[in-house]
Amino acid sequence: MKVGVLALQGDVREHFRALADCGVEAINIRRVSELNQVDALILPGGESTTIAQLAETFGIFTSIQERISAGMPVYGSCAGMILLANHVLDAAPTQRTFGGIDVTVRRNAFGRQVDSFETDVHVAHIEGAPIKAVFIRAPWVEEIGQGVEVLASVTSADGMTHPMAIRQGPLLATSFHPELTSDSRIHRYFVEEVCKSAPVIR
């Protein structure tokens, strides 16, 4: 299996390392010809507005949407979660997403006071010790459609619980950045469970 990492902006190299830990070959994706070579895609953490704009500039935005509609497995971390969400609150003007997961996410949801923090979380389907979740100006999920599985949630300062790891079929997203830790279990879950359960379509 060949996995692409959308390499327009963000923590691309860190995802390569996590995939290498899982024994998976990865390539940078900037062009449609590169997208056509991969079976699955990772949308990195970074800045969702910049990534979407660059995807339009590089002429790859619509092709990514088409591959998502056709069932390509995609994992998005943080900005990548925003890019996979069908709806975004606190979006920048004219901000677009690829979409695919039937959720509404709120950008920069944790507010300025706690714009970066770490916490240990249990994530469904991930065996063993809790995952160290690193949040950096992270989104959370505010509305969730049928067919979206919540794998982990976080409780905000006001006592509300918000999903922060979700899956809908071949699409997986986390508010946090497993690629910034040495724990590659989320990436392993993506390549070994999420990707394997999806039909191969190019």
DSSP assignments along 12-80, one per residue: HHHHHHHHHHTT-EEEEE-SHHHHTT-SEEEE-SS-HHHHHHHHHHTT-HHHHHHHHHTT--EEEETHH
Identity of the residue, 39 or 68, whose beta carbon is nearer to ligand GLN in the bound complex = 68
CB of 196 vs ligand GLN, minimal distance in Å = 27
Cβ 70 vs Cβ 35: under 8 Å: no
| Residue ranges that bind ligand GLN, judged by CB under 6 A | 45-48, 78-79, 82, 107-108, 136-137
Taken as a whole, the chain contains a residue count of: 202
CA torsion sign for 190, 16, 101, 163 is positive
Closest CA to 171 of 65, 54, 88, 49: 65
Q: What DSSP designation does 189 have?
A: H
CB of 116 vs ligand GLN, minimal distance in Å = 9
Identity of the residue, 176 or 189, whose beta carbon is nearer to ligand GLN in the bound complex = 176
CB of 136 vs ligand GLN, minimal distance in Å = 4
Closest CA to 152 of 142, 167, 137, 139: 167
CA distances from 166 to 77, 90, 149, 152, 193 (A): 11, 20, 6, 7, 14
Which positions are annotated as active-site residues?
Answer: 78, 177, 179
CB of 107 vs ligand GLN, minimal distance in Å = 4
Identity of the residue, 2 or 13, whose beta carbon is nearer to ligand GLN in the bound complex = 13
Identity of the residue, 134 or 146, whose beta carbon is nearer to ligand GLN in the bound complex = 134
